[in-house]
A = this chain, B = another copy of it.
Amino acid sequence: MSNDEMTTIDLDQILAAAAAVPLTGPASATPAQRAGWLEAVAGVLDGAADELIPLAQAESHLPAARLTAELKRTTFQARQFAEALRAGTLTPTQVDAPDAGWGSGPRPDLRRTVVPLGPVLVFAASNFPFAFSVFGGDTVSALAAGCPVVVKAHPGHPELSRRTAELVAAQLPEGLFALIEGVEPSLTALKDSRIKAVGFTGSTSGGRALYDIAAARAEPIPFYGELGSVNPVVVTPEGWAQRPGEIVGGWLDSLLLGSGQFCTNPGVVFVPDAQAFLASVELPKPGRMLNDRLEEGFQKSTALVAELPGVREVAGGPANEQGVAARIFATTLEQLDPQALDTEMFGPAGLVVEYGDTGALVDVLQRVPGQLTGTVQGTESGDEVAAEVVAALSARVGRVLYNQWPTGVSVTAAQQHGGPYPASTNSLTTSVGLAAIERFQRPVSYQGLPAGLLPTELR
């Protein structure tokens, strides 16, 4: 259904169907049934790769190889949730037996499990047309939890979104999935009392505006927004002495991957010697950006950083057909404007910050705005600066990397993709990995129930 065609009645029907899905009791879906849905959709999407990838290519300007890998990751993710659902590991339970001598007074029979929150509104992202879009991580984890999902399509890839949605909806029971388009319908849905949680991936300004609406509702609802990050990298003096070429090369590869359009893009690097670090920097022509809006945003944010006091532009590459060129800026720790750490240049640009005193460096890291990731490039042992930097970053980021690079977020149980604000609006949760399901289910305890009335997993 396109934006133009969507009426208030259509949206109301979508929300009514979502709200009618039973969340608890014998009519609600079992974990095994949810696993079946996810596997069915994964199979259909894999089977439609030859149709979907050209659609994605035309709308996103991303290369076929990248999109093929992304689709594979997307269906892998769904199957991973399905497998864990069947194994029972996504339905945490706790059983306390009655205990007459319990220290806070006689303890009853108390058993806890989880139930779905209810219909979830998902705002799709543009930079992953598969993995963070219609059937991306938010949708899959909400469905795994047993929640109906209403996806707001990203306008960056409308045809791909519609076709994906058709394929998804055909595999799911009535009410469990719907696609909507356009800002107005999505805001109406966000304010509707039938929506019980929100998933969002995008910019800090856009995400914050939606967060504010969710928080102001008569019934406030959880808003899981993955917003902006500059993903600081710290090169220690010992790391630099040992592997200068590898570090510069690794940083540029990660920084410029996919024209820098990743939320884990390492936009700021702290180095002991900027001149030496920059000596071997060569910047290639970037690929075409995902859409005009991102291009404009990139020009704006780089212009802002370029004009901060103490910042110089120290390297530039050739412009692509759209006039976008990679840019590297530099400053020093003493001159570092706090705004530089708050400005995500979403695209092929980075800021090199030279530090002298490592104590001053740690001070700055302790006050850095919340980040998805923080990376340390040091030595494998005996690097005392690295130890201090790891401790400081641990308090400000969701994932700490050592001698690796932050782009490429592994879809696995131990992943944490989320960090203190503004990296995300809820730092206690992750939007990637199996723990993402926790965002969409809530605990319920049962006290003294006859076995026959307990949810199956508690009997």
Write the residues of chain A forming the contact surface with B, with a CB cutoff of 8 angstroms: 22-28, 69, 72-73, 76-77, 79-80, 94-96, 102-105, 107-108, 110-112, 115, 117-118, 211-212, 215-216, 219-222, 370, 380-381, 386-388, 390-392, 394-395, 397-404, 408, 410-416, 418, 420-422, 425-428, 430, 435, 438-439, 441-450, 452-453, 455
Contact = CB atoms under 8 A, between A and B. Distances in A.
A279 B22 CA distance: 38
A117 B445 contact: no
Q: Nearest 10 CB-CB pairs, A to B?
A: A25-B391, A215-B215, A24-B394, A76-B103, A416-B445, A104-B411, A96-B414, A94-B414, A110-B414, A112-B414
A398 B444 contact: yes
A410 to B, nearest CB: 5
Given A105-B69, A108-B410, A410-B104, A448 B401 contact: yes
A62 B448 CA distance: 29
A448 B403 contact: yes
B416 A443 contact: yes
A238 to B, nearest CB: 13
Most chain B beta-carbon neighbours within 10 Å: one of A69, A112, A216 = A112
Nearest to A112: B414
Given A399-B444, A402-B453, A403-B448, 7 more contacts: A25-B394, A105-B408, A112-B414, A415-B445, A416-B444, A418-B443, A435-B443
A110 B400 CA distance: 10
Contacts of A370: 219
Q: How many copies does the complex hold?
A: 2
B117 A402 contact: no
Nearest to A427: B442
A22 B392 CA distance: 9
Given A404-B108, A448-B401, A102 B215 contact: no
Contacts of A80: 103
Contacts of A28: 391
Contacts of A77: 104
Most chain B beta-carbon neighbours within 10 Å: one of A24, A435, A444 = A444
B95 A414 contact: yes
Contact of A220 (B112, B211, B394): B211
B443 A430 contact: yes
11 contacts: A24-B392, A24-B394, A105-B408, A112-B414, A212-B215, A387-B453, A399-B446, A400-B447, A400-B449, A402-B453, A403-B448
A211 B217 CA distance: 12
A444 B76 CA distance: 24
A222 B426 contact: yes
Contact of A394 (B115, B215, B447): B115
A23 B112 CA distance: 31
A395 B104 contact: no
Nearest to A409: B104
